[in-house]
Structure 1
Amino acid sequence: MRLLYSTAAVADLTRLRAFIAEHDPAAAGRIASELVSRIDGLCAFPAMGHGVPEAPEGEVVRDFAFGRYVVRYSVHDEALVVLRIWHHREERAPQD
């Protein structure tokens, strides 16, 4: 299964890393690497996350929590697409 990142997910990861770096530069790289590593593991176990009830009909969209972060992704026949990444304290609109 291929792993793809949406433009929004790449921007989220960049934003989160920059925010963490303001407070703890050493942790920023470590946390970003851990997130990417956990996301890589989703390809082997795509059903690991919880289903998103407000997902469009016919789409498999899941949320996977890792520590204080949530990864929203969609599962397709040949690919897993990371849609968004956020800290659990951030406000999220249902469609994000």
Structure 2
Amino acid sequence: MANSLVSVQIIPKTKNGEDTIPFVDEAIKLIMESGLKFEVHPLETTIEGELSTILHLITKMNEKMIEIGSSNVITQVKILYQPAGIQMEDLTGKYR
């Protein structure tokens, strides 16, 4: 069982005021390719997994934003670390 839930919001600054959605799509693509369980929400994406793995993924997401043309990136992160194990379902299952 995963030990963490991490919600992340990537806010890339584009060099010439371009739309940021294609940048965010690239960040979400990296999450999808990671094989980790995740849910995309309107303002953030929540990822379920091992904390160290997710933090490494967030590093890759930031690096990708620069690679594809962002001049800098603000990343907002919320972490629930529970060594005994935690799943998104534990917190939101009753609403589904």
Structure number with greater Rg is: 2
**TM-score band w.r.t. shorter chain:** 0.3 to 0.5
Higher helix share: 2
Bigger relative contact order (CA 8 A; separation at least 6): 2
TM-score by length of 1: 0.34
TM-score by length of 2: 0.34
